[in-house]
Structure 1
Amino acid sequence: MKTKILNTIFTLVLCLATLEAADAQTKRKISKIFKASEIVNNHYTGFALYDPVKEKMIYELDANKPAIPASNTKLITLYTALNMLGDSIPGLRYITKGDSLIFWGTGDPSMLHPDLNSTKVYDFLKNSGKKLFYSHSNASSEFVGSAIYTIAMVSLPIGVNNAQAYAGSDGKVRLKPEFLNAYLKLDTSYRPRSFTVQRDERTNTFSYPAMSMPADFTQTVYLVPGAELTQQTLSEVLGKPVNVISMALPVSAKTIYSIHADSLYKRMMLPSDNYLAEQILYLCSSTLPGPLSIETAIEHSSKIYLTDLPDLFQWRDGSGLSRNNYFSPRSIVKMLIKIRDKIGDEQRLLNMFPVGGVSGTLRTAFKTDNGVPFVWAKTGTLSNVRIQGGYLVTRKGKKFIYSFMNNNFLVPSADISNEMVRIMTMIREKY
């Protein structure tokens, strides 16, 4: 009996030793790949490779050091939304009083968005048969003119919160929505290099130069959010009057849900849509007491959902446009683990990520293996910043979770992107 027990213990110890030796060998081989790279050794490169079966890191390179994550910030936004929102997106809060329908936005960006096929809120307002009153009282965030917020922070977005400037059939510059043409003026002091429409820094007033306009001229102009813009845009698209009222959102207000949440998240993740990312985080704050606020959502998520990240972090926005976001590769890997565990279903999880050689921001980055993809990852791109974070399946069927972060490089960005693809493909082939 003792002999059997001793043999069993010996076998277990031998197996563990063999596994440890294999992991050590893998670590050495991956280390050689990075040391041999002429590119990743000339700037900050952070890398973390995690084995979800063994629940351990296989290889780390400066993985504890914070870096600008760019659009990998959307992973944190996604995880926050998965926790704070349900299966369907809350599109509108409302009450009825006699012949009046009073409503508040939630920050939901799906209404009449060209890529989301969401008409439930529109249909509800269009067919209510009541006088419509919009309250802006729960929208505390004001437009401040920064690059981050010019395309977001709208309590009741319609479409994608922008205007289209175009050459009209009469040869004059026009704006759509049509009501904005009342705020479009000639400015002889405005002298751009080519014909463009300019929006005032803080208001939805527009000017164009005294110069020839191309016959095929088109331009997208982002709008300054506010009660008046929502009122006028809604009135135009609904074809009926919408009034503005100042009324606090009551606890008893009912909710209209718009679209399935995964549809919104996928649209944010695959093309890396900055507008949707900011709005989703703004939308998350609608589930908390008080006015809508990205800062409130970040504070809540950081205190409730992100306390187990391995390294200190700094989080400033939903999209990753801010260069004041800082997360380490280890923290990005932890976020990917948390997202996987929260979603539960692997196919649902992978459907939300760009697929190497197939879709989204990785459509042209990787080559599939005879049509079979092996990388599902979120990219991140800013000047001097290139990031990948996601899930990898090797040729032997092993599954890894990884974060690959590059900051402060001076070589062409395409060289960095290509090197990330080369290294991840090597890991795919060898392990």
Structure 2
Amino acid sequence: MNGLLCLFILLLFSTNTEAQKLNKRKVAKVFAGSEILKNHYTGFSLYDLKTMKPVFELDANKPAIPASNTKLFTLYTALRMLGDSIPGLRYVNKGDSLIFWGTGDPSFLHPDLKSSRVYDFLKNSGKKLFYSHNNSGTEFNGSSIYQIAMVSLPIGENRAMAYANKNGNLEIKPAFLKQYLKQDTSYHPRTFSVRRDDKTNNFIYPQMSMPANYRQTLYLVPGAELTAATLSDTLKLPVSIIRMNLPQNAKTIYSIPSDSLYRRMMLPSDNYLAEQILYLCSSLLPGKLSVDSAISYSSKNFLNDLPDKFQWRDGSGLSRYNLFSPRSIIKILTKIRENLGTEERLHNLLPAGGVSGTLRNAYKTDNGQPFVWAKTGTLQNVHLQGGFFNTRKGKKYMYSFMNNNFMIPTADIRNEMGRIITHFHENY
């Protein structure tokens, strides 16, 4: 009798445990019941973090446009190449002269990164300053498409600000650019705006009234002259240009902790920082700085074990030529998680549902606590998430949720992904 009772209790416990378990059949039922996901490509992969085995996959081997999930690959490349601190400048001392080269570090005078080590180093060197541009690669990558400049020594995000001052006059920062700002009576925009020449830092503005609150960001065309002039204006010291190749014995000064740069890229999904981070990674490779060389090196050395063939073209995910499968997204998430070492560090670098970054409004917290940490991605007809979530019963999962080629509002896709992941969180 006692044996039968024990067997009954064991069967009851097993049945109850199975009812609480998230399994392939239950996930498939949720997807089959979604009207939102039926009329476009949906790729999905769900992994149990305890067993590191797939729970459910839907077209997980098929490549799709990853949009800003591409930044996961940029992040992993940087984690493997850059170490704990960002290399901010390469330099050599020659007599009374300091000769320096940029590394591509975008933190110099970045308004949100508060980095001053490179600035203080140059300002207080007591030497004559010479800037060399010889390690720079392409001057301006994709300017007509992305408006993102690849810069060996970006200063203040390599951009200017045109604005109306208190007296209602047009001003521009940095102030030395004002000499390149001219009125053009043949320029007739619908509303007041400043336009930069396609290939130079010459600016025109129209002969029309300017709004009192006018402000406009202007991306700059990089080059040795611009960098030297901006540095001189910022440091209040003369900076000369020298044509000199970067020697092997050049020293390095580091700027900021790496994670602070990565977090600033990942949470708001900053396209400019993503491109510059790959450019920065290439500073550790032979030859000139180049996003392409960083991608090629990472693909060969760090991503050669991805489960499916992929295509990687930029750091930010703005290119529609990027192609990765959900299984490859899962693999890169696994690599990032292993590299970071702690869950706290992992969660710190990803948007948290209901709390931060691009997931702030995509989820609600559970009693004030986030339960999902993921990178989003959005382009026209493309929306996805890749990351991690916990359930109320303490289970931990990793997922890639890719949607391509839909013809309904992006908000509908976002809400459906949120509904499904929240359902898993609340019920399992």
TM range (shorter): over 0.9
| 1:160-239 correspondence to structure 2 within 5 Å | 160-239=157-236
1:25 is displaced (CA, Å) by 7.2
Structure 2 counterpart of 1:404, from 386, 397, 401: 401
Residue 41 of structure 1 aligns to a residue whose secondary structure is coil
Is 1:293 aligned to residue 299 of structure 2?
Answer: no
Q: Equivalents in 2 of 1:62, 1:428: separation in Å?
A: 23
Q: Equivalents in 2 of 1:121, 1:147: separation in Å?
A: 31
| 1:227-266 correspondence to structure 2 within 5 Å | 227-266=224-263
RMSD: 1.8
Partner of 2:7: none
Structure 2 counterpart of 1:346, from 321, 343, 349: 343
Is 1:312 aligned to residue 309 of structure 2?
Answer: yes
Q: Equivalents in 1 of 2:98, 2:309: separation in Å?
A: 46
Partner of 1:5: none
Structure 2 counterpart of 1:268, from 262, 265, 277: 265
| 1:115-130 correspondence to structure 2 within 5 Å | 115-130=112-127
Residue 150 of structure 1 aligns to a residue whose secondary structure is coil
Structure 2 counterpart of 1:101, from 98, 101, 107: 98
Partner of 1:7: none
1:424 is displaced (CA, Å) by 0.6
Q: Equivalents in 2 of 1:352, 1:263: separation in Å?
A: 9
Partner of 1:414: 411
The verdict on how the C-alpha distance between 1:52 and 1:263 changes in structure 2, with shifts beyond 3 A counting, is same
- Residues 150, 224 of structure 1: 8 Å contact kept: no
Structure 2 counterpart of 1:156, from 148, 153, 158: 153
Is 1:146 aligned to residue 143 of structure 2?
Answer: yes
Structure 1 gaps of 5+ residues are 1-13
Residue 160 of structure 1 aligns to a residue whose secondary structure is helix
* Count of residues in correspondence between the two structures: 416
Partner of 1:335: 332
Q: Which runs of 4+ in 1 moved over 2 A?
A: 20-25, 144-152, 168-172
The verdict on how the C-alpha distance between 1:182 and 1:141 changes in structure 2, with shifts beyond 3 A counting, is same
Q: Equivalents in 2 of 1:379, 1:306: separation in Å?
A: 21
1:145 is displaced (CA, Å) by 4.6
Deviations 1:300-349 (A, max 9, x none): 00000001111111001111111111101110011000000011111111
Name the aligned partner's letter for residue 320 of structure 1: G
Deviations 1:139-195 (A, max 9, x none): 011215535553231000111111100113443322110111111111111111100
Partner of 1:75: 72
Structure 2 counterpart of 1:377, from 352, 374, 377: 374
Name the aligned partner's letter for residue 316 of structure 2: S
Name the aligned partner's letter for residue 328 of structure 1: S
Name the aligned partner's letter for residue 239 of structure 2: V
Partner of 2:129: 132
- Residues 151, 161 of structure 1: 8 Å contact kept: no
Q: Equivalents in 2 of 1:310, 1:82: separation in Å?
A: 21
Is 1:363 aligned to residue 360 of structure 2?
Answer: yes
Name the aligned partner's letter for residue 311 of structure 1: D
Deviations 1:90-148 (A, max 9, x none): 00000011110000000000111111110000000000000000000000112155355
Is 1:302 aligned to residue 293 of structure 2?
Answer: no
Residue 342 of structure 1 aligns to a residue whose secondary structure is helix
The verdict on how the C-alpha distance between 1:145 and 1:63 changes in structure 2, with shifts beyond 3 A counting, is closer
Is 1:26 aligned to residue 28 of structure 2?
Answer: no
Residue 215 of structure 1 aligns to a residue whose secondary structure is coil
Q: Equivalents in 1 of 2:259, 2:36: separation in Å?
A: 37
- Residues 163, 222 of structure 1: 8 Å contact kept: yes
Q: Percent identity among equivalent residues?
A: 70
Partner of 2:44: 47
- Residues 190, 208 of structure 1: 8 Å contact kept: yes
The verdict on how the C-alpha distance between 1:241 and 1:191 changes in structure 2, with shifts beyond 3 A counting, is same
1:281 is displaced (CA, Å) by 0.5
- Residues 148, 322 of structure 1: 8 Å contact kept: no
1:293 is displaced (CA, Å) by 0.4
1:216 is displaced (CA, Å) by 1.4
Residue 361 of structure 1 aligns to a residue whose secondary structure is helix
TM-score of the aligned structures, taking structure 2 as reference length: 0.94
Structure 2 counterpart of 1:278, from 269, 275, 278: 275
1:373 is displaced (CA, Å) by 1.1
Name the aligned partner's letter for residue 333 of structure 2: L
Residue 198 of structure 2 aligns to a residue whose secondary structure is coil
Residue 99 of structure 2 aligns to a residue whose secondary structure is strand
The verdict on how the C-alpha distance between 1:149 and 1:140 changes in structure 2, with shifts beyond 3 A counting, is farther
Q: Equivalents in 2 of 1:195, 1:99: separation in Å?
A: 48
